[in-house]
Structure 1
Amino acid sequence: MEYWISDRCTGCGTCQDVCPTEAIQLEDGRAVITMDCIDCGSCIRFCPEGAIRMSVPATVAPDSS
């Protein structure tokens, strides 16, 4: 999964506090999600600003020709 942190991030640290793998760091006052992320979505659910979004990669249908 890929995560997007919008400009609404205030650097409050809530996402960092709820992350079970400590995969979120604050850099320059904004959340950064590291490779330790297990895609649990806790950061999305608990962000008070709604600043974190998950992007699900599109799947490509197999060529049937």
Structure 2
Amino acid sequence: MALLINDKCINCDMCDPECPNEAITMGEEFYEIDPARCTECIGHYDKPTCQSVCPISKCIIIDPDNVETEDELLEKFVSLQGLA
């Protein structure tokens, strides 16, 4: 599952530099996560770093439109890292 930054985002800039996949960018109103690049930090960390550093509760959530299994996220990690 990719993650999603909702409209609770205050654009604090905490999440963007923490993303190891460079999936987070500034959108028109607030930060956004590219589901094609988000692996929920699988392959990098034990849990998503963006959620860990976000000061707003429930601002970064599972994206219901981009549900993926852990195996699919790991495959995406391998592909993004050029390991395949």
TM-score, structure 2 normalization: 0.57
CA contact (8 A) 2:3 2:40 kept: no
Change beyond 3 A, Cα 1:47–1:55: same
- Equivalent residue, structure 1, for 2:55: 48
Q: Compare the two structures and name the one with the higher strand fraction.
A: 1
State the 4+ residue runs in structure 1 displaced beyond 6 angstroms: none
CA distance in 2, matches of 1:14, 1:3: 15
Aligned residue for 2:15, secondary structure, equals helix
Cα deviations by residue, 1:3-41 (Å, 9 ceiling, x for unpaired) = 232221011111101101111001123111111112121
Q: Compare the two structures and name the one with the higher helix fraction.
A: 2
CA distance in 2, matches of 1:2, 1:22: 13
CA contact (8 A) 1:16 1:43 kept: yes
Q: What RMSD in Å do the two structures reach over aligned CA positions?
A: 2.2
Task: Name structure 2 gaps, 5 residues minimum.
Answer: 42-47, 68-84
CA contact (8 A) 1:10 1:29 kept: no
TM-score, structure 1 normalization: 0.70
Identical residues among aligned pairs (%): 32
Aligned residue for 2:10, secondary structure, equals coil
Greater Rg over alpha carbons, structure: 1
